Structure 1
Amino acid sequence: MTSTPTSARRSKISPERVQEFYDAVLDQLREHGYEALTMEGVAARACCGKSTLYRQWKSKPQLVAAALRANRQGTLAAVDTGTLAGDLREAARIAAGTSGRDTRLTQALGHAVLSDEELQAALREALVEPELAAFDAMVARAVARGEIGPDHPAVEFLPAQLMGVLRIRPVLEGRYADADYLVRFVDAALLPSLGITP
């Protein structure tokens, strides 16, 4: 398979340099919000030409989504404890690991998440769809093991509930959702809704 000109250009940038670009994006996002973030500002902070950024990421939404994805620690795709209860608790711990940083960054995206279709698409591809696929895999394994029925009505709400409580606790209580809080939420709300005894 031959390399395209784009992939050849990309190979010249080290992972460390890419991380510098991402750090510049996240700093700008935290400081000024999404609307004020510009490719020019990121380039200036990362000491590179704007064209370098556009060669790697075709647009601001793609660069922001890539930076947010790289900022995540842990992945739900790796979770497989042998039980649905164990999987959901581990998913809660992983989600809690970056809840403060992720929540602040999500809040920095502000109105743009709802109004910018290109940003929505980039975030769905980079962040949302992999998590939904991981939840689907957890449920499929649970169904195969006979833990829950294939058409259990609570299943479709699992991602919204776990991710939703992660985002809303700072608004309701002024505190981020840590691992203890999220695991207790899994045991008190999610598992009973699935008919699973914690």
Structure 2
Amino acid sequence: MAPRKEQEIFRATLGLLVERGYEGLTVEGVAERSGVNKTTIYRWWPSKAALLAAALIEADALAVDPPDTGSLRGDLEALVREISALLTESPSAEIAVAALGAAVHQPELAEATRRFFADRLAREQQVFERARRRGELREDADPMLIMDLLGGAVWLRAVFRGLPLGDGFAAEAVRSVLDGAALPAHPA
């Protein structure tokens, strides 16, 4: 399938998810909105869950390119800013919230969401590999835990608490994860 047509299908899929929820998302609706025959869609994706999974991973609206600023701290701050934009700017914010909400009640969508986050972590691995080569990261550091702490902070602050992410949020979140928040212990 042509990449442009595929993106039209993904835009239609994600738009209908936001507008109608997972229950209201249908392959027929995607076909109508994208101008593609539903048999063509079914040829590429056997179910609406498979279609939504592909849209979440491959849609331009949710694309994130791992940064290369030359430092782990800079890369992580850039990633936090990218995650923040995805969760606070339209249409990606609405897509993320709709997908998360639907995943709670739909096992097939929960699996698609897990694949989405696995894909993101796989893309982010290069940030950690470069940091290890530069000697900035312990060999036993867990990239998934680091990204869960940073991404989780963005999700909690922006989506669940509904609070703004100020200009210094990315730097402070990364500082807290990399350097900790406790003061050094004073010798007695």
TM tier relative to shorter chain: 0.7 to 0.9
- How many residue pairs are counted as aligned between the two chains? 178
The one-letter amino acid of 2:180's match is S
Instruction: Spell out, residue by residue over 1:3-35, the C-alpha distance to the aligned partner (whole angstroms, 9 max, x if none).
Output: xxxxxxx3xxx3332222122112211111112
2:74 corresponds in structure 1 to 86
1:47 corresponds in structure 2 to 35
Residues 74 and 148 (structure 1 numbering): CA distance in 2 closer, same or farther, change over 3 Å? Answer: closer
Structure 2 CA distance, aligned partners of 1:36 and 1:176? Answer: 31
**Matched position secondary structure for 2:22:** coil
Alignment of 1:106-125 (within 5 A): 106-125=96-115
1:193 corresponds in structure 2 to 180
1:3 corresponds in structure 2 to none
**Matched position secondary structure for 1:33:** helix
For normalisation by structure 2, the TM-score amounts to 0.77
How far the C-alpha of 1:53 sits from its partner, in A, is 0.9
2:83 corresponds in structure 1 to 95
Structure 1 CA distance, aligned partners of 2:150 and 2:169? Answer: 11
Residues 46 and 141 (structure 1 numbering): CA distance in 2 closer, same or farther, change over 3 Å? Answer: closer
How far the C-alpha of 1:120 sits from its partner, in A, is 2.9
Deviates most, 20-29 or 132-141 = 132-141
Residues 175 and 73 (structure 1 numbering): CA distance in 2 closer, same or farther, change over 3 Å? Answer: farther
For normalisation by structure 1, the TM-score amounts to 0.74
How far the C-alpha of 1:85 sits from its partner, in A, is 0.8
1:136 aligns with 2:125: yes
Residues 172 and 44 (structure 1 numbering): CA distance in 2 closer, same or farther, change over 3 Å? Answer: closer
The one-letter amino acid of 1:151's match is D
Structure 2 CA distance, aligned partners of 1:128 and 1:84? Answer: 20
Instruction: Spell out, residue by residue over 1:131-161, the C-alpha distance to the aligned partner (whole angstroms, 9 max, x if none).
Output: 2124433233323322232224x75521111
Match of 1:164 among 146, 152, 156: 152
How far the C-alpha of 1:171 sits from its partner, in A, is 4.1
1:5 corresponds in structure 2 to none
**Matched position secondary structure for 2:82:** helix
Given that 2:31 and 2:37 are in contact with CA atoms closer than 8 Å, whether structure 1 keeps it comes out as: yes
Q: Structure 1 segments of 4 or more deviating over 6 A? A: none
Residues 84 and 183 (structure 1 numbering): CA distance in 2 closer, same or farther, change over 3 Å? Answer: same
1:38 corresponds in structure 2 to 26
2:185 corresponds in structure 1 to none
RMSD, matched Cα: 2.8
